[in-house]
Structure 1
C-alpha cells in the first residue's frame, strides 16, 4: 500500500484551472481500484491519496497521467507501507 503526498508548486487559482481534470483522473483510478482514499490537506497546500497499486513502479506510471503532474502543478512523495492493524470496517485492507 502507498501514501501519495501531493504538494502544490503554484498558486491555487492555477490548481483550480485543472481541478476538474484531476477529479476525472481520480475517478478513473477509483474505478480501476487503484485508489482507496483521497482528499485535500488543510491548509490547502496539496492532497493525500491512499493507493493499493501493486508496485511503486505501477503507481509512478499512474501518477504520470494526473493533470497536476502533466502540468507540473504538484510534487509527489510516495511512501510505501504494509498495513498490519486496522479498524473492523477496513479489515479488507490487510487480508
Structure 2
C-alpha cells in the first residue's frame, strides 16, 4: 500500500487551473481500483492519496501521469508501507510481512 503526499509547487490559482483534469484523473484511478481515499491537506498546500498497486514502479509511473505533475504544479512524496492491519472494509488489502 502507498501513501502519496502531494505538495503544491505553484500558486493556488495555477493549481486550480489544472484541478478539473486532476479530478478526472483521480476518478480514473478509483475506477481501476488503485485509489482508496484522497483529499486536500489542511491548510491547502497539497493533498494525500491512499493507493494500492502491485509495485512501486507502477505507482511512480502513475503519479508521473497526474495532470498536476504534467502541469508542473505539484510534487509527490511516495511512501510504501505494509498494511498488516486494516478496517474491516479494507480487509482485502491486508498484507503479511515477509
TM-score band by shorter chain is over 0.9
Tell me the TM-score normalised to structure 1 length: 0.94
State the alpha-carbon separation in 2 of the partners of residues 9 and 34 from structure 1: 25
Deviation at 1:92, TM superposition (A): 2.4
Unmatched 5+ stretches in structure 1: none
Residue correspondence of structure 1 range 59-78 to structure 2 within 5 A: 59-78=59-78
The alignment partner of 1:36 has SS state of: strand
TM-score normalised to the size of structure 2?
Answer: 0.91
The equivalent residue for 2:15 is: 15
* Structure 1 residues 62-86: Cα deviation after superposition (integer angstroms, max 9, x where no partner): 1121110001111100000001112
**Greater mean alpha carbon deviation, residues 50-59 or residues 80-89:** 80-89
Report deviation, 1:34: 1.1
Task: Quote the RMSD (CA, aligned, Å).
Answer: 1.1
